[in-house]
Structure 1
Amino acid sequence: MKFSYLLPACLFASAATFSHAEPIWQDFSITGLYGENYKLTPKEEQTTVTFEYAAKVKYGDLFAFADRTNSGGKSDTYFEVSPRLSLGAVSGKKLEAGPIKDVLIATTWEGGEDMNNYLYGVGVDLDIPHFQYAQLNFYRAANDIQKDDWQMTFSYGVPFKISNEDFLFDGFVDWSTKVKNDKVAHDSELNWTSQLKWNAGKHISPSTRLYLGVEYSHWISKYGVPGKDENNVSALVKYHF
């Protein structure tokens, strides 16, 4: 069996294991975005509705999201499912060293119209002062188009206060290698997408988490296309259930 077929089976098995595990914590949210400077879309204007789910369980964590986009009257759906397995929890040993809190097996399934991309590798949880969370994952991609494609992903969240108001600065940085073969030329790309959000919900009730803010996307060689650089600011509304 080819590894590119085995990896999806492992992802499904991991997701099934997580679905039967009692979450230590979990979070579900819906985000609405509107921006006017997107690249490689039917129009520069685009609206996006994002459904996100995150959970921590005994043996790891899970993050998943689905984007439903509309640009120029054309709609599309893209999703990612990212289960990670904690080697510290499985072994019963503390895998800590310096800022590293844990070491994990990291996997991701990226899917959309006529595309599937499977990532596998290793991740670490980091303990950085003032960060709510910080994760660094190193992946290799497995698909039928790109060969020997490597990716690094850093995700983070930094809460802070200004006077009595609560803010959150979070996001991710993706970097992938350049790939060239008979099927496709894929340039090295860097995608830094960040959100700056104000918790307006606390003024409704202490438990309401309604965020207003902006998302900034700085994407060099978007989708690996040379010269297609995106710098886009989107208005943002996000609600956590």
Structure 2
Amino acid sequence: MRRYLLLAPLIALQLSAFSTTNIQYLYGNFEGPTFLDTQSGPKHTITMEHYRTWDYGDIFTFFDYVYAKDGLRFTDKKHDLYGEFSPRISLNKLTSLPTSSGLIKEYYLAYQYNRSETYIANLYGIGSDLNIPGFQVFGLNFYRKIQNIGKDTYQLSGNYYASITEQWHFEGFTDWTTEDFLSQNQLLFNIGSYIQIHEGKLDIGTEWHYYHENNGHTDNNVFQAMIKYTW
């Protein structure tokens, strides 16, 4: 993976504002026909995410490390590393326009860089933060996606977070392109107070992973067990 993608979290750390970081472990049976599946048996995933705001926008980055004992379908290897780096520049802050209490709270110029050992994609577009009842966070970005594997396409991405109770919350993202559809949604329970964790937050729960290839008509529909620590 390119050096500057690996340095993305370090770049983000230099920007002074609100930030949050988490590490996740997920386990699920990904035996199936798509490029996300294993040759056979389960898949272990360790994910690290970092989000940070700064004076003129925000940055989100994550890395997935994947292990499958019998090998991954799309590489025949047991290991894979994949990452995304997604900065946005606020048009409201660039132009000194106030944020809105209406449906669209804030507008952005949006970029995303995706990278694995074999795959590269650059995405250019516009984004927004929305005021949606019941959601503490709801972002929507629209991109032109240029990639080295598969057709160039357009991508609509949504990310969201909603508290259900003091202990339960729901979060996730959905990516739609003209070629495929991916949605990963998590239902998590905060167990930190029950086991006396005083720093950070520890959640357990499940992630529903759904992927559909529009042309191949192949699906990936998996519930994963997960644990997540946030600081």
- TM-score category (smaller protein): 0.7 to 0.9
**Runs of 4 or more above 4 Å deviation:** 14-19, 145-148
- Paired position in structure 2 for 1:230: 220
What CA RMSD, in Å, does the superposition of the two structures yield over aligned residues? 2.4
Paired residues for 1:7-156 under 5 Å: 18-23=12-17, 25-39=18-32, 40-71=37-68, 72=70, 74-94=78-98, 96=100, 98-156=102-160
Shift of 1:114: 1.4
**Residue 56 of structure 1, CA deviation:** 1.2
Residue 220 of structure 1 is matched in structure 2 by 212
What is the alpha-carbon distance in structure 2 between the residues aligned to residue 228 and residue 238 of structure 1? 29
TM-score scaled by structure 2? 0.85
Alpha carbons 1:32, 1:237 under 8 Å: kept? yes
Distance (whole Å) between structure 1 residues aligned to residue 187 and residue 10 of structure 2: 33
Residues 234 and 225 of structure 1: CA distance in aligned 2, closer, same or farther (over 3 Å): farther
Q: Which amino acid aligns with 2:188?
A: K
User: Identical aligned pairs, as a percentage?
Assistant: 32
**Cα 1:83–1:212 shift into 2, 3 Å:** same
Corresponding pairs, count: 215
Distance 1:139 1:227 in 2: 24
List alignment gaps of at least 5 residues for structure 1: 1-7, 178-187
TM-superposed CA distance for 1:207, in Å, is 4.4
SS in 2 for 1:229: strand
The AA in structure 2 aligned to 1:197 is L
Is the 8 Å Cα contact of residues 60 and 84 (structure 1) preserved in structure 2? yes
The alpha-carbon deviation at position 235 of structure 1 amounts to: 0.4
Cα deviations across residues 187-212 of structure 1 (Å, max 9, x unaligned)?
Answer: x2111110000000122145440000
**Equivalent-residue separation in structure 2 for 1:87 and 1:69 (angstroms):** 36
TM-score where L is the length of structure 1:
0.81
Identify the structure with the greater helix proportion.
Answer: 1
CA distance in 2, matches of 1:189, 1:147: 11
TM superposition shift of 1:96: 3.2
CA displacement at 1:146 relative to structure 2 = 4.4
Match of 2:203 in 1: 211
The answer to whether the 8 Å contact 2:9/2:61 transfers is: no
